[in-house]
Amino acid sequence: MHEMAICESIRGILEEEAARQDFRKVGRVCLEIGRLSAVEVEALKFGFDVVMRGSLAGDARLEIVETEGRAWCMPCGQSVPIAARFDPCPDCGSHQLQVTGGEEMKIRELEVS
Amino acid sequence: MSQARMVKLEKDILSKNNEYADANRKMFAERGVLALNLVSSPGSGKTTLLCRTIDALRGKLPIAVIEGDQQTSSDADRIRATGAPAIQVNTGKGCHLDAHMVGHAADHLDLAEGGLLLVENVGNLVCPAGFDLGEAHKVVVLSITEGEDKPLKYPDMFAAADLMLLNKTDLLPHLDFDVEACIANARKVNPRIKVLRVSARTGEGMSDWTAWIGAARAMALTGHPLAAELKGAA
Ligand SMILES: Nc1nc2c(ncn2[C@@H]2O[C@H](COP(=O)(O)OP(=O)(O)O)[C@@H](O)[C@H]2O)c(=O)[nH]1
Ligand SMILES: [Mg+2]
Ligand SMILES: [Zn+2]
């Protein structure tokens, strides 16, 4: 769904950075995508190729590092792993959780020339 | 051909949208405008609810509406029929409003100081969750014809919302919708979410919803010169 819009944002950032950091081509894009970020990684890969076609990143390789979902369990007072937002605490079963990790949607680094 | 090199970025992919959202938020705060972002799947009753809300608050505070839609302008026409200023933003293929579109639309609306801005997002329970518009609150509208499992199917939207309006309660006698199960599902993804039951058809629960708007407006006006006026009027 909004993976296309995300790819367009990435393209915009690449074009801006190219002007600012003086490069013409992007050979590799490394993203950090959290497992709770609602981004479908397969759809993102597909959208990336479509959106980058004809741009400075037309031949770029896409690398995605997925980060785990984590939350703070209020009853337990500890950080716990979660696979989805509606998951209970794996220790005490509570839903009083505050998500602390896994929502990332970042461009980590680029290989440019 | 120049040498390849690495560039560290560590940049949020939606950073552009977030910058526009911050600018919108600042502009709303300066004008003392309470901005609400209404999100739902298509047909849950957002436009009907907005028309009814405008009627309920008529004469109490200035209201303006931004209507997000992929194609048509019929929702904005429905809002204008109530007398409130409305602007249609057609997102075309885009499945959500973004902060840049909303900033533009707000400029055109010439928002009144201390007023209420209601944004009807594109009918979609996925994409609008990730796009901050600079609003004070996301309000998710779920109609009881959609099923009580929706908060678990679209957890990001229910996690992003501060209030859930369970709409079309007039249909409860005709359906086997389990209200308590639905609320429990919403609280699994968002323990802090508030819930109100409303019917945009019969008007049931509308006074609770307008009371919530009043409280949210008082919060939005904290520290603003208009807060004193509001207090005088209450
Ligand atoms: N029975 C009932 N129907 C409603 C209610 N609210 C909206 N509707 C109907 O639901 C349909 C979709 O409403 P609309 O406001 O266009 O939904 P939107 O797509 O979310 O803007 C219309 O036929 C409305 O008349 C309600 O509270 N009860
Ligand atoms: Mg509508
Ligand atoms: Zn726990």
So what's the pLDDT on residue A66? 96
A11 pLDDT exceeds 60?
Answer: yes
Long-range contacts of B197-202 (CB under 8 A, 24+ apart): B197/B165, B197/B166, B197/B169, B198/B49, B198/B165, B198/B166, B198/B167, B198/B169, B199/B167, B199/B168, B199/B169, B199/B170, B200/B45, B200/B48, B200/B49, B200/B51, B200/B52, B200/B167, B200/B168, B201/B48, B201/B168, B201/B170, B202/B170
In chain A, positions 63-82, which contact chain B (CB-CB < 8 Å)?
none
Average pLDDT for A41-51: 94
Q: What pLDDT sits at residue B70?
A: 81
Q: Report d(CA B126, CA B95) in Å as an integer.
A: 9
Sign of CA dihedral B95, B100, B104, B107: positive
Residue A54 to chain B, least CA–CA distance (Å): 19
A105 vs B1: CA distance, rounded Å = 32
Domains, in order of start, for chain B: 14-223 (3.40.50.300)
Degrees, nearest 5: CA angle B132-B133-B138? 75
Q: Which residue of A has its CA nearest to B155?
A: A85
Tens of each residue's pLDDT in chain B, 234 residues: 568 999 999 999 999 999 999 999 999 999 999 999 999 999 999 999 999 999 999 999 999 999 998 887 789 999 999 999 999 998 887 789 999 999 999 999 989 999 999 999 999 999 899 999 999 999 999 999 999 999 999 999 999 999 999 999 999 999 999 999 999 999 999 999 999 999 999 999 999 999 999 999 999 998 888 888 766 554
* Alpha-carbon separation of residue B150 from B179, B182, B183, B186, B207 (angstroms): 12, 8, 10, 8, 25
Q: Which two tokens stand for residue B169?
A: 């309660």
pLDDT tens for each residue of A55-110: 999 999 999 999 999 999 999 999 999 999 999 999 999 999 999 999 999 999 99
> How wide is the angle at C-alpha A73 spanned by C-alphas B39 and B166, nearest 5°?
25
Question: What domains can you pick out in chain A, each with its CATH number?
Answer: 2-112 (3.30.2320.80)
The one-letter amino acid at A61:
R
> Would you call A51 an interface residue with chain B, using a CB distance cutoff of 8 Å?
no
Percent of chain A at pLDDT exceeding 70: 99
How many angstroms does the Cα of residue B75 sit away from the middle of ligand 2?
5
Of A85, A99, A110, the CB nearest to B7: A110
Q: Which residues of A touch B6 (CB under 8 A)?
A: 109-112
> Of the bound ligands, which one is closest to the alpha carbon of residue A80?
3
For residue A38, the model assigns a pLDDT of: 85
Separation of alpha carbons A38 and A41, rounded Å: 9
Contact residues, chain A, for B11 at CB < 8 Å: 13, 106-107
C-alpha B88 – ligand 2 centre gap (Å)? 11
Is B15's CB within 8 Å of A13's CB?
A: yes
With beta carbons under 8 A apart, name residues in chain B contacting A88. Answer: 188
Are the Cβ atoms of B9 and A13 closer than 8 angstroms?
yes
Q: Three-class SS of residue A79?
A: strand
Q: How far is A86 from chain B (nearest CA, A)?
A: 5
Give the ligand whose atoms come closest to the C-alpha of residue B43. 1
pLDDT at A1: 58
Point out the ligand 1 atom lying closest to the alpha carbon of residue B44.
20
| ipTM associated with this complex | 0.90
